[in-house]
Structure formats: structure tokens, C-alpha cells
Amino acid sequence: MKVAAIQMVSGSRVEDNLHRAQALLAQAAQAGAELAVLPEYFCLMGQRDTDKLALAEPLGDGPIQRWLADSARALGLWLVGGTLPLAPDGAAPPLTHCRNATLVFSPAGERVAVYDKIHLFQFDDGTRRYDEAAVLRPGRQPVRFDLPSRDGHRWRVGLSICYDLRFPELYRQHAADGAELLLVPSAFTHVTGQAHWEVLLRARAIENLCGVVAAAQGGTHDNGRRTWGHSMVVDPWGQVLAVQDEGAAVVLAELEPARLAACRARLPALRHRVLG
């Protein structure tokens, strides 16, 4: 299955971000991708963290959700909508918090999965400070879905978002439930990404014998924030199949069921677990 990690440098205008995303998705589809993964906050990197509150849509309806469904249908892609802000169930405006959610759409434009980011990023080095809990409500449940590829293989796919990458127990739950592919739409900061991004992605692939598709924000945004980029596809043996350092790009690679099966047969570590 050919997969595409879509790297972006999203800004503070939703219309511009969707236009850029559309062009990148069309490029991925033209190259033969079956699955395309957009980065975290593909639709908005606001001037302030609270900007996403005004954009939050109720689950099931809204211009960004319609755009995702229409794009998946028009391009014939399994489309993972990075993340977008969703209103908490039953909440009325003005919102004080929202959900940071990944939505997955089939090539028919049907929504097949919704995952709310469980782990909320907090960082303070004395100069840069982030606290996602100030505007986000955490999710509670891991989410997986099945993706039947064109070659007949049915991939079990586990969802995660950015800071989730630091919590291996989430990915172990995915693997224990049969996941073969892990998705990580992200907006890692330049500081933390430079230090930890690749090693964490490769570790999640190796310890779970799963493929990983990590789509990231990568560059300097119009709000002054700098993200690490380095969107990549990693195979179940931890080999980086494709990577893009910075800038908008489509990162393409092939994931092969036979390669996954061979890795798991050669090193049956998932069968040797004694805890959990």
C-alpha cells in the first residue's frame, strides 16, 4: 500500500490552509497513494491558542468536516484529517475548551473513525511555554479502524496525535488489538522534535513491529512558532523509508504486508509479552 504523509506549514487563514492541503492531497493521489495523513492543526495554526475555539465544529457537520469528506471522495483516498477543533458534546458557544480530534474518511467520503487526543502537551524551558490543557479537553479512549487496501490486505490502524508519541502504553494497546499500522499526525516544536522525534517514531515501530506514518508541521509559521517537520514513513523493522525535513511536501512510501509478516515471524516479540 502506498501511503502519503502530508507535511505543511499551516498559517492563520483557514481558506489558505485548505487550498494548500488540497494541492498536496491531489499530488498524493496522482502518485498512487491509497492513504494520506494530514498533520496536526492542518487547518489552522492561529496567532493565539484560543483562536481554535472560534473554529470548533460540532461532530458530524461543519465546513472543515465537509471539506475532508469531499476531498476523500473526489480523490479516492483514505484520508486522515490530521486534527481539527471539535466542540465538546453538548457545549454551547462561547467555548472555553474544545477537542483536538483526528477524523478518518473512506474513499466514499464516509467518516469511519474519530479520535480525541488523549495526552495534552505541556512544556516550559523558561523561554517557551505551552499548555494545551488551557484550551483542550483530553480524549479518553484509544481508537482503531480497519483499512482494506487495493491488494486485498486488511490493515488494522491505530490512531494517535503528536504528544501521544511519548506514551508507549497507548501504542502497545493498539498492537495488542492487532494494529499493523500506527498514524501520528503532529506539530512537534523544533526544540523537542530535534531532540526526540525520530528516535520515538522508530521506537514505536520497532517495539510494536508496526509501520508508522507520521505527518508533521514543518517550518516557521506566521505566528512565529517553528515546528520540526521531518514527516516520515517507518517500516516495522524501524527503517525510515522516506522523510522530508522542512517545508510543504508529500512524503511517499510503500508499506508491504509481506514485509510486516516477515518482521513478525523473524522476531516474534509481540507473542513474548508477559505483562499487561
CA trace torsion 29, 35, 36, 39 (10° rounding)? 180
Query: What is the b/e burial string over 108-121, where b = at least 16 CB atoms within 10 angstroms of the residue's CB?
Result: ebebebbbbbbbbb
Domain boundaries, the chain: 2-272
Phi, psi (degrees; rounded to nearest 5) at 262: -65, -40
Residue 61: CA count within 13 A, CB half-sphere? 1
- Whole-number pLDDT of residue 276: 63
Locate 204 and state its grid cell. Answer: 514505536
Query: Please, what's the largest Cα pairwise distance for the chain?
Result: 55
Locate 213 and state its grid cell. Answer: 506514518
Locate 166 and state its grid cell. Answer: 511519548
Locate 219 and state its grid cell. Answer: 517550518
- Whole-number pLDDT of residue 113: 98
In the chain, the amino acid numbered 94 is P
- Whole-number pLDDT of residue 275: 78
- Whole-number pLDDT of residue 128: 86
Which CATH code for domain 2-272?
Answer: 3.60.110.10
The catalytic residue positions are 40, 117, 162
CB 53 within 8 A of CB 46: no
Q: Using CA atoms, how far apart are residues 115 and 118, in angstroms rounded to an integer?
A: 9
Going residue by residue through the chain (276 aa), what tens digit of pLDDT does each one get?
999 999 999 999 999 999 999 999 999 999 999 999 999 999 999 999 999 999 999 999 999 999 999 999 999 999 999 999 999 998 989 999 999 999 999 999 999 999 999 999 999 999 888 999 999 999 999 999 999 999 999 999 999 999 999 999 999 999 999 999 999 999 999 999 999 999 999 999 999 999 999 999 999 999 999 999 999 999 999 999 999 999 999 999 999 999 999 999 999 999 999 876
